[in-house]
């Protein structure tokens, strides 16, 4: 690692380290009640138990079970949001005439906060996976759709001219110039959509399903297990970061690929 990056890392880590230090100090000296804010060591111990087992707690060693359920919902919902958002964004971005019929409706419906759909989703899909997937699809759709639309619509016109004068036909222009040029914009929409997916996953699982990281989060409030609550918040956040990095890695490999 270069000295510059090392210095940047040092600066970035300073504030979190201070927060953890104050947290540890305050809990160690008994300034706060343990059930309100457990010590960092307790949270770590709970997480270790959650991942690898070793205690009599009901959550002991259950990470994989909950993670699989949540991942299934995130992947399903995000896939639905992508399958709807990308093609619709491409078509409406490419053809303003069709856009005039559909775009205003999408824009208006976007004003309804995603969380407002929860009661209706429960009526339609019941408690559980269906509702979660619906909410995640809805939550990720708008950012994926809008970024794709913008990327396709605002391709640098000089690139289109270059493509046409080099012999690209109007139909081949779409996949030889427009889509590759819009790719960074589509990618940022997908990243945003994925982060919304984790958010709506928690919301969907708050409806009272048995398994899932969000479900467990709500259950630990019922049992007043603050250390598991804090631990789960960290786990869900970390999964968001990891999935974002993985997608970025995967997509930039495509970005460098030759578009045949």
Partner 1 sequence: MTGAIIANAPVTDLTRSNERSAKISFRDITKEFVPHAGGVPMKAIDGLSLDIEEKDFVCLIGPSGCGKSTLLNLLAGFEAATSGTVTLDGRPITGPGPDRGVVFQEGALFPWLSVLDNVCFGPRRLGLSRDSYLQEAQAILEQVGLSAFAHHLPSELSGGMRQRVAIARALINRPPVLLMDEPFAALDPQTRVLMQEMLLQIWERDNRTLLFITHDVEEALFLGSRVIVMSSRPGRVLRDVRAELPRPRDYSVRAHPGFVKVKAELFAVVREQTIVAAAEGNGG
From the list 173, 236, 227, 172, the residue with the least C-alpha distance to 205 is 236
109 vs 172, beta carbon nearer partner 1: 172
Question: C-beta of 168: minimal distance to partner 1 in Å?
Answer: 5
2 vs 171, beta carbon nearer partner 1: 171
CA dist 249 → 37, 184, 240 (Å): 37, 13, 14
58 vs 172, beta carbon nearer partner 1: 172
Question: C-beta of 103: minimal distance to partner 1 in Å?
Answer: 19
CA distance 246 to 169: 35
3-28 and 40-52 helices cross at what angle (nearest 10)?
100
Question: C-beta of 163: minimal distance to partner 1 in Å?
Answer: 8
The answer for residues whose C-beta is within 8 angstroms of residue 87's C-beta and 6 or more apart is: none
Residues that bind partner 1 (CB under 8 A): 156, 158-159, 161-169, 172, 176-177, 180-181, 183, 255-256, 258-260
Question: C-beta of 94: minimal distance to partner 1 in Å?
Answer: 18
Question: C-beta of 176: minimal distance to partner 1 in Å?
Answer: 7
CA dist 222 → 38, 51, 129, 226, 228 (Å): 16, 21, 21, 10, 11
Residue 230's φ and ψ, nearest 5 degrees, are -65, -45
97 vs 256, beta carbon nearer partner 1: 256
Q: Is 7 exposed, middle or buried (0-12, 13-18, 19+ CB in 10 A)?
A: exposed
Question: C-beta of 183: minimal distance to partner 1 in Å?
Answer: 7
Q: Residue 111 is encoded by which pair of tokens?
A: 């004003």
188 vs 195, beta carbon nearer partner 1: 188
23 vs 183, beta carbon nearer partner 1: 183
Q: Residue 170 is encoded by which pair of tokens?
A: 């109007």
């Amino acid at each position: 690692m270069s000295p510059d990056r090392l210095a940047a890392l040092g600066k970035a880590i300073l504030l979190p380290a201070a927060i953890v230090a104050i947290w540890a100090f305050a809990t160690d000296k008994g300034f706060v009640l343990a059930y309100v804010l457990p010590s960092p060591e307790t949270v770590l111990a709970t997480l270790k138990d959650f991942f690898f087992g070793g205690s009599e707690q009901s959550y002991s060693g259950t990470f994989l079970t909950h993670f699989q359920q949540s991942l299934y919902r995130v992947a399903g919902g995000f896939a639905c949001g992508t399958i709807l958002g990308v093609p619709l964004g491409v078509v409406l971005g490419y053809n303003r005439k069709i856009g005039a019929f559909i775009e205003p409706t999408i824009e208006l419906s976007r004003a309804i906060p995603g969380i407002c759909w929860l009661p209706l989703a429960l009526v339609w899909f019941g408690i559980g996976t269906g509702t979660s997937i619906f909410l995640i699809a809805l939550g990720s759709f708008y950012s994926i759709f809008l970024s794709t639309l913008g990327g396709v619509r605002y391709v640098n016109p000089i690139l289109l001219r270059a493509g046409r004068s080099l012999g690209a036909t109007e139909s081949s222009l779409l996949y030889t110039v427009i889509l590759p040029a819009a790719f960074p914009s589509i990618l940022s929409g997908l990243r945003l959509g994925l982060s919304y997916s984790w958010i709506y996953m928690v919301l969907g699982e708050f409806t009272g399903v048995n398994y899932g990281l969000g479900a467990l989060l709500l259950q630990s409030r019922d049992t007043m297990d603050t250390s598991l609550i804090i631990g789960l918040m960290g786990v869900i956040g970390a999964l968001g970061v990891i999935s974002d990095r993985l997608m970025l890695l995967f997509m930039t490999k495509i970005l460098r690929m030759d578009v045949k």
